[in-house]
Structure 1
């Protein structure tokens, strides 16, 4: 083990060390996010109580994203990630222990899910700010594409599939493996070489630091516009996901069974992985602007197709196109943010942008429920398509090649 650590500990290996940590932690994410609801379903027959586990996992994002950004700009970002992974190991090991002795309760599961969500919020915010410290600026696009591809494969494909298989043997086994993978991610992070904190001295007031980050984002025209656009699209995606099952699973008009529904949703992940493979060629050929525009077009397609047809193949193709656009957006916008935002503000700006993206998710779901109840499910898709189409107005007016070039030079 000592020899392995010594061979890893080289600045030129930093990206691959981070990639190893990303692989382990996202595979662990995929495992526990499918296992906890299954464990909850074994504890209660109430769908609402089972859904509460997912709610608890996601709640820390809108509540703590800005504060996580402040800490990422104040303290060592690697230390934040190591600490978050250590917390994950402890929490999951505790659940395994209690599950193995039949002492776990739904309320204990809520508390653990909430703490896992807190750990995810701080770890992911720190990771977004840490990437420029391990990769040269000229390689950021390629590095982000590789990391997003890894996240898509492990979190959306391998993790859930492996988790579903292992839970047939025992949920404790799945959660134990997830805990071990977080420990492995922690081992990788400890082998990063370099300084991973902002050199700038920050104020003594967290509120002052928060306002500084928000002011920067509000004044930066390109990032501000991108943040508002992704907030609208995230709300539309949430509405689509919230109501899709009613539309496609029998007795819905599309008439798929549950397996077919899962296959359709896998189209998003498939498209996402394809998007990571083509984002760099598209960027080199058409420029960053059109790589961003592909997501608006992809989201529009994903919303519009189910509004006009019940053909599951066409809806699946639309999901693939939407997934492609989503990961292309993630790679290009992450790279722009890392190139534009000063290092001492990167954590706060990343947290603020993520806050807007996650903050519209419950709004989109609520919107879908109200419209579906009053005007029908297809109207939800149609309205989301119309709203997404309107995003081409700020895209053509503000997100121009000139604005992108100017922002990168500032």
Structure 2
């Protein structure tokens, strides 16, 4: 047993409750991966408007991640996760009911695949934007709480194993099981995937509620009673900014995520118009990332031990950029599937190493705030990338064909990702990572 009473040789029952909750909610997210883009593409074909959906989905990370960190440190993290998933359940149910009322006038997947002329439905498009934005705010609270809750139920020595297994099953549910299920439900009726998605959030919230509340330290209680939230936020920001490894790591990840959303913002149009995918093919396209993520999650800790944490992160930058660039030349979805598998393998490898590092070196009473500041930099760049992706398509479309315009975001993101590798590599060495982990750097 560890000093705080957590077993050192197993993950424990509370971990598996979180594991189950994450699995079921990610199954719903996987359904949404198909349902929301297809709904957006059914109400508008404008690349900027499609990209704007991705912008508002990630905008809460820019606007809300910093105050969310203070909230995470002030209140019980388990309770916050339950509330966040309950909110997401209500919002998704609202979307389902609205789509149910309008599905008689929405174009079917076959109509979209046949190239039907689709005018922008202002009401439905506005509903998608509002729901996506509000879901994003709830996601910020949930994700920050979940990451900072893990050290309370898993021993420090098991964090990489716990995170790796959690992300593996998340990949299975999110991009292997969820999208094909979403495609099947979409064929039944446009509203059905949203009803099922809402149900997954309800079940997830119930499972998290079964985890016993963790005791708060006296230091955390003092923070709640005596410190203004601005002071607490500044403390978390200062801790991260003064850290010689986490500061550049957050900035590098922010640039990497910006490039990822630049290429992915108009993916649904690329898949429909260039790759000519139907809903089930689009669903299978996402499963490539799932397979790569599963393998990456289960093997991440072994790979990091074998080749070192630094080279593991280098590979993410280098191969992520190369696969993105190659997708720009794709003629069929099977090739893109393979590229997604390689990309996600290394993306999960990055996540397992860096999140486990943060969980092990940031003091618990600061973990919520520092983690939120980190994600402010790391995820706050995503809405900017999404906007740039839509703008890239529109500008290219002005002087080139639609086919080239939809490919251009992958070329731009791929080249810039490789360039980022040369900037990042000297800052993310194994020696610096291990020094931070042991407290000697």
Give TM-score scaled by structure 1 length.
0.83
Secondary structure at the aligned position of 1:258 is classed as coil
Query: Counterparts of 1:175 and 1:74 in 2: how far apart (Å)?
Result: 33
* CA deviation map 1:235-268 (0-9, x unaligned): 2222322466777776x5xxx3224666555433
Asked whether the 8 Å contact 2:311–2:430 carries over to 1, the reply is no
Candidates 364, 376, 382, aligned match of 1:355:
376
| 1:321-332 → structure 2 map (5 Å cutoff) | 321-332=342-353
Secondary structure at the aligned position of 2:211 is classed as coil
* CA deviation map 1:190-235 (0-9, x unaligned): 2112416564232532222222111111111111121111112112
Query: Counterparts of 2:271 and 2:40 in 1: how far apart (Å)?
Result: 26
Does residue 397 of structure 1 match 2:410? no
Asked whether the 8 Å contact 1:24–1:182 carries over to 2, the reply is yes
CA drift of 1:358 comes to 2.4
CA drift of 1:109 comes to 4.8
Candidates 141, 156, 169, aligned match of 1:122:
141
Asked whether the 8 Å contact 1:234–1:357 carries over to 2, the reply is yes
> In the alignment, which residue of structure 1 is the partner of 2:34?
34
Secondary structure at the aligned position of 1:391 is classed as helix
Secondary structure at the aligned position of 2:233 is classed as helix
Query: Counterparts of 2:322 and 2:205 in 1: how far apart (Å)?
Result: 40
Is there any run of 5+ residues in structure 1 with no aligned partner, and where? 1-10
> In the alignment, which residue of structure 1 is the partner of 2:154?
135
Is there any run of 5+ residues in structure 2 with no aligned partner, and where? 1-10, 105-122
Does residue 408 of structure 1 match 2:431? no
Asked whether the 8 Å contact 1:77–1:197 carries over to 2, the reply is no
Candidates 232, 254, 274, aligned match of 1:231:
254
Does residue 170 of structure 1 match 2:189? yes
Asked whether the 8 Å contact 2:176–2:286 carries over to 1, the reply is no
> In the alignment, which residue of structure 1 is the partner of 2:172?
153
> Structure 1 residues 87 and 291, CA, compared in 2 at 3 Å: closer, same or farther?
same
> In the alignment, which residue of structure 2 is the partner of 1:388?
417
Asked whether the 8 Å contact 1:73–1:345 carries over to 2, the reply is yes
Asked whether the 8 Å contact 1:130–1:196 carries over to 2, the reply is no
* CA deviation map 1:7-36 (0-9, x unaligned): xxxx93111011011112111222345334
CA drift of 1:144 comes to 0.5
* CA deviation map 1:84-125 (0-9, x unaligned): 122223333344455556699534554333322221111111
Does residue 345 of structure 1 match 2:374? no
Secondary structure at the aligned position of 2:214 is classed as coil
| 1:6-45 → structure 2 map (5 Å cutoff) | 12-38=12-38, 44=43
> Structure 1 residues 360 and 50, CA, compared in 2 at 3 Å: closer, same or farther?
closer
Does residue 292 of structure 1 match 2:313? yes
363-372 vs 145-154, greater mean Cα deviation: 363-372
Asked whether the 8 Å contact 2:68–2:144 carries over to 1, the reply is yes
Query: Counterparts of 1:387 and 1:97 in 2: how far apart (Å)?
Result: 42
> In the alignment, which residue of structure 1 is the partner of 2:87?
87
Asked whether the 8 Å contact 1:40–1:50 carries over to 2, the reply is yes
| 1:55-66 → structure 2 map (5 Å cutoff) | 55-66=55-66
125-134 vs 169-178, greater mean Cα deviation: 169-178
Does residue 193 of structure 1 match 2:212? yes
> In the alignment, which residue of structure 1 is the partner of 2:111?
none
> In the alignment, which residue of structure 2 is the partner of 1:71?
71
Candidates 237, 258, 267, aligned match of 1:214:
237
CA RMSD of aligned residues (A): 3.3
> Structure 1 residues 140 and 164, CA, compared in 2 at 3 Å: closer, same or farther?
same
* CA deviation map 1:112-155 (0-9, x unaligned): 33322221111111111101111111110011011111221212
224-233 vs 54-63, greater mean Cα deviation: 54-63
CA drift of 1:174 comes to 2.8
46-55 vs 178-187, greater mean Cα deviation: 46-55
Asked whether the 8 Å contact 1:62–1:355 carries over to 2, the reply is yes
> In the alignment, which residue of structure 2 is the partner of 1:257?
276
Query: Counterparts of 1:243 and 1:30 in 2: how far apart (Å)?
Result: 18
Secondary structure at the aligned position of 1:220 is classed as coil
Asked whether the 8 Å contact 2:51–2:386 carries over to 1, the reply is no
Asked whether the 8 Å contact 1:298–1:323 carries over to 2, the reply is no
CA drift of 1:366 comes to 4.3
Secondary structure at the aligned position of 2:188 is classed as coil
> Structure 1 residues 321 and 173, CA, compared in 2 at 3 Å: closer, same or farther?
closer
* CA deviation map 1:128-186 (0-9, x unaligned): 11011111111100110111112212122322221221233334433332222212112
Asked whether the 8 Å contact 2:67–2:233 carries over to 1, the reply is yes
226-235 vs 351-360, greater mean Cα deviation: 351-360
Query: Counterparts of 1:300 and 1:32 in 2: how far apart (Å)?
Result: 26
